[in-house]
Structure 1
């Protein structure tokens, strides 16, 4: 009986030691897991999809581009188009005796800073028979810069009314500078137009410089 009791006690002690060792291993394993989790949570920002660390975007905007504005030459380096409001626009009869056509010279005088003229002016006549648009005649002049205070003129030609009757009376001349949409209405300084069959306009507008000196006043 004594031998059996000692054996049973020895087995109980061994079992207790074994359970203690197992518990120690479990506690140690949990401690390692907690430590790993702690290192993971405090080890900086997580990698992004590209495999690089996350964080600031290096000073770039939301589109991934730098904050500096894009370059490029400004259009302000060229002379601005001559604006209607900055031009003194006048018209006078320039018909020479004996000519088969009448001529009205329209003059642009630059009342502002240097500006650019390129192409034909728009010309319309208001007549007793309705509105009449002038057609372009000849090739356009080369682009020009009209300096402050300078003038340039172009001609508006029309058939002379030699029928002996009153013909078609012109009440006003409407002029639109090249590249502009704003017009000015001037008194027509020329004569009347002959009555036509309405087959087309016989009023022509010439290029810049086609009447007068076309330069400085």
Structure 2
């Protein structure tokens, strides 16, 4: 019996020792975790700061385009900055001409009795060089007050850079009706310069030949310089 009691006391002492050791281990784990979370806080703050420094806005904001323009070019990146500010550029340096800076006029330029052609001239009245590259948007207004959009002809746009005072021209081409039965009675040409949203209204040139067919048979061609 004496040996049994001694063994029991020894077992209780071992259990107590193990319990104290386990408690010490738990405290050590908590301290380590606290230190870990404390050291990670500056990293999280830094990440937030980096996020605030990046361009905001979706794909339409121009930020991604600006980044693409800059990457690996080693050239003037002013176009990237322009795109980020919402300014449209052509070759990285020259902005598109604004409607307000253009003097626009239309004239009959038919080369013969069968082919109708309207020349539309745009003169840069602004103080800076600009680009008129591309297709203008054109609608023809009829005497019945309806307007018809004009389709693009099959032609490749050419770079058209206008210094102050320079002119660009684009054409409307169609076949002339010589039967006297034309159903088209154009009164005005609505012109929106390339890459612009503001429109000007011009008078249909007096003396221009009658349009054969419908307005869908008229085509607009891209701009080019007059030099």
TM-score of the two chains, using structure 1 as the length reference: 0.61
Partner in structure 1 of residue 105 of structure 2: 90
Count of aligned positions: 159
Determine whether 1:181 maps to 2:204: no
Residue 63 of structure 1 pairs with residue 48 of structure 2: yes
Counterpart residue number, 2:120: 106
Instruction: Name the residue aligned to 2:154.
Output: 138
Structure-to-structure mapping, 1:147-166, within 5 angstroms: 147-165=163-181
Residues 110 and 148 in structure 1, CA contact (< 8 A), matched pair in contact too: yes
Q: 2:179, 2:52 → 1: CA distance?
A: 74
Deviation at 1:201, TM superposition (A): 1.0
Q: Structure 2: 5+ residue runs without aligned partners?
A: 1-33, 56-66, 71-76, 83-91
Task: Evaluate the alpha carbon distance shift between residue 68 and residue 201 of structure 1 in structure 2; reply closer, same or farther with a 3 A threshold.
Answer: closer
Find the aligned partners of 1:203 and 1:176 in 2 and give their Cα distance: 17
What does 1:167-178 align with in structure 2 at a 5 Å threshold?
167-178=183-194
Give a deviation string over 1:167-216, Cα, whole Å, max 9, x none: 4211101111111111100000023324x4x6x7111111212xxxx235
Structure whose CA Rg is larger? 1
Structure 1: state its 5+ residue gaps.
1-45
Partners of 1:83 and 1:208 in 2: how far apart? 15
Q: Structure 1 residue 204 and structure 2 residue 192: aligned? A: no
- Of Structure 1 and Structure 2, the greater helix share is in 2
CA contact (8 A) 2:132 2:168 kept: no
Q: Structure 1: which 4+ aligned runs deviate by more than 4 Å?
A: 66-72
TM-score after normalising by structure 2: 0.59
1:161 Cα offset (Å): 2.3
String of CA shifts for 1:1-52, please: whole Å, max 9, x gaps. Answer: xxxxxxxxxxxxxxxxxxxxxxxxxxxxxxxxxxxxxxxxxxxxx9572548
CA-CA distance at 1:140 after TM superposition: 2.4
Using the alignment, how far apart are the partners of 1:107 and 1:95 within structure 2? 15
**Could you give the per-residue CA deviations for residues 143-177 of structure 1, whole angstroms, max 9, x where no partner exists?**
33211110011111122121135642111011111
In the other structure, the counterpart of 2:20 is: none
* Separation (CA, whole Å) in 1 of partners of 2:165 and 2:114: 34
Task: Provide the C-alpha distance between the structure 1 equivalents of 2:129 and 2:193, rounded to a whole number of angstroms.
Answer: 15
Name 2:37's counterpart in structure 1. Answer: 49
Taking a change above 3 Å as real, the CA distance of residues 180 and 62 of structure 1, as seen in their structure-2 partners, is same
